[in-house]
Structure 1
Amino acid sequence: MKIAFLGAGALGCAIGSALTEGGHETWLVDRSAAHVEAMSRHGLQVNDERGTRQVKVRATMNPAEVGPVDLVIVLVKSFHTDQAMRGALALVGPETVVLSLQNGLGHEDVLSEIVGRERVLAGKTYVGGVLRGPGHIQAGVTGKLTIIGELDGRITGRAQEIADAFNAAGLTTTVSDNILGTMWDKLLINVATGAITGITQLTYGQLYDEPVLKATSLAAVEEAMAAARAAGITLSITNAEDAWNMAAEGLPPAFKTSMLQSLEKSSITEIDFINGAVVRWGERLNVPTPVNSTLVACIKGIERAMTDRQKQGAAA
């Protein structure tokens, strides 16, 4: 297959390098000039359980250089989805499928408005990665599940073809007839800890040692579960405490959520596609979401203060 990753951060590079080594024409499209130049000149340095190696990848900042592909895998930050896809329409040909593997909920709607809902697949992946520097990642692929599916729940040949390509490249992948339920399940886990740690700046060890914060987490998850039920979504997580426990599974006390990491790097968070998605669905279906609304407001306030400091620093 000819595959393009829209967004070649740690996760895009981890999956993209595996597919490259699996024999697919894989392109890593990213807006970081330093990252793209390093990959183009030296290849992508991958550190994983197999050791360290250089993978000769195709990298570019210009989607037009790639041309139409069979599959676009979207892994940009949530708030860049619309702009990134509109700027990468050169990747889309008559038979192109667009697959979002992003965290949160709502990307499939954004992408559908741009390329048409009939092209869009959704998925969740538990593949891990850390960007160590331009052209250098730490990857965790082995045994990490990826789940993809059609938005209407059909099991199609195109979804199976993608799963087959992933599996052949060592990326454990299944096709789901309930991908929206899978996405909501993952959302519940993100709702359980992300915003709370972003606001409090606590690691997992600290978070899980505070009963009052656990109570807030459970209340936020219960709101999300109520919104999902009202939307007719079939969840595999049926107890808020399960989402709380699953969020910390296999992670060390020093672990920091991606939301906290974003704020520590003075970056905007993906709150609109996590707790914000719960709020939007609640408004649509008349399900009260006061806890999630409060968490969103607090993160937005932190982002505003951060942005103002950056502006003051630039003006000084």
Structure 2
Amino acid sequence: MRIAVVGCGAMGSVYAGRLAGAGHEVLAVHRGAEHVAAIAAGGLTVSGPDGEHRARIDARTTPPPGIVVDLVVLAVKAADVAGAADLARSLIGADTVVLTIQNGLGSGDVVAQRVGADRLAVGIASGFGASLIGPGHVHHNAMRALRFGSYGGLDAAAVERVAEAWRAAGFDAAAVPDILAMQWEKLICNVAYSAPCALSGLTVGEVMDHEHLGAVSRAAATEAWETATALGVGIAVPDPVALVREFGAQMPAAKPSALLDHEARRVSEIAVINGAVPREAATVGRQAPVNATLTALARTREEPWVRR
């Protein structure tokens, strides 16, 4: 497959490196010139529990002219997805599939407006932590699960071809018929830890067992579960508290991306994670005060970084 990964931060670099290592022809498009220069000069090194691997990748800060690919992967954060979709337009041909992988809810809607719903797949990555060690070098903690589904009219066979390309690269990847349900199942876990960890500086395990924040974490998850149920989303979660405790127990030392953003004084994705719950709840006449409060606190803390 000819694949363009737009946004080669930590997660995008893992995707690009593993896909290239499996024999796919990969183009990395990333605005960080130092990272791009290092990849272009010496390849992209991906390290993790399965060892260290280096892949040769065509890395650019902007897409080269006249290139059309089979698959565009938008691996940027939710706030940057509109710009990434616009940047990727020159790479899209009649049969190109666009896959967008972000935390939270809402990115698919943004991308569909720019590239068309009929070519769009939405992905979720679960239990998958990554960090940039330096220019040209990324490390991942695990590759537990990647799930892909059609946003709108994309044929199921096309989604399966995407999943197969990722499985060939060593990912636990699968096409699923109801990606929205899986997004909500992941969101229930994310709201339990994203804002509580970011605001407190504690890890997932520390929040999970904290005398005070543990109750807040569980309440945020329960509120998301209640909202999904009210919306009629087909989640397979009988007990949201059991779900988030099981999730947290698998990675107690992990720092959610929102906490990493706050440590770096960057704006996080809280608005599309915890913030998605009160927005979605309002569409069915409900309120979500726990997640609304967590979102307000996080966004207030981030205000100086927005202006920076």
CA contact (8 A) 2:130 2:141 kept: yes
Alpha-carbon distance in 1 for matches of 2:138, 2:65: 24
Q: Which residue of 2 aligns with 1:58?
A: 58
Q: Distance in 1 between matches of 2:176 and 2:256?
A: 27
Q: CA deviation at 1:205?
A: 4.1
Which residues in structure 2 correspond to 1:13-24 (within 5 Å)? 13-24=13-24
Gaps of 5+ in 1: 311-316
1:72 partnered with 2:72: yes
Partner residue, 1:263:
262
Structure 1 75/197 Cα, relative in aligned 2: closer, same or farther at 3 Å?
Answer: same
Q: In the alignment, what sits opposite 1:171?
A: 171
Conservation of the 8 A alpha-carbon contact between 1:128 and 1:139: yes
- CA contact under 8 A between 2:18 and 2:46: conserved in structure 1? no
Q: Distance in 2 between matches of 1:85 and 1:41?
A: 27
Change in 2 beyond 3 A, CA 1:22/1:150: same
TM-score between both structures, scaled by the size of structure 2 = 0.93
Deviations 1:54-88 (A, max 9, x none): 31111111124472211111110111111221122
Correspondence for 2:230: 230
Q: Which amino acid aligns with 2:87?
A: G
* Residue 107 of structure 2: aligned partner: 107
**8 A Cα contact 2:148 2:175, kept in partner:** yes
- Which structure 2 residues correspond to residues 195-210 of structure 1 after superposition, within 5 A? 195-210=195-210
Match of 2:242 in 1: 242
Aligned-pair CA distance for 1:191: 0.4
Whether 1:287 and 2:286 are equivalent positions in the alignment is: yes
Cross-structure match for 1:180? 180
Q: Contact between 1:155 and 1:175, CA under 8 Å: does it hold in 2?
A: no
Letter in 2 for 1:301: T
Q: Is the partner of 2:255 in helix, strand or coil?
A: coil
Aligned to 1:160: 160
* Distance in 2 between residues matched to 1:196 and 1:180, nearest whole Å: 24
Distance 1:283 1:89, change over 3 A: same
| CA 1:50–1:223: 2 relative to 1, 3 Å | closer
Deviations 1:107-163 (A, max 9, x none): 111101111111111111234422101100113566x22111113598711011111
Name the CA distance, whole Å, in 1 between partners of 2:210 and 2:185.
24
Deviation at residue 47 of structure 1 after TM alignment = 1.8
Contact 2:14/2:140 (<8 A) preserved: yes
CA–CA distance in structure 1, aligned partners of residues 100 and 3 of structure 2? 13
How many residues align? The count is: 307
By how many angstroms is 1:238 displaced?
Answer: 2.5
Q: Distance in 2 between matches of 1:150 and 1:8?
A: 23
Aligned to 1:314: none
Checking the alignment, whether the CA contact within 8 Å between 1:153 and 1:179 is kept in structure 2 is no
What's the counterpart of residue 47 of structure 1? 47
| Whole-angstrom distance in 2 between the partners of 1:277 and 1:186 | 12
**In structure 1, what residue type is equivalent to 2:276?**
A
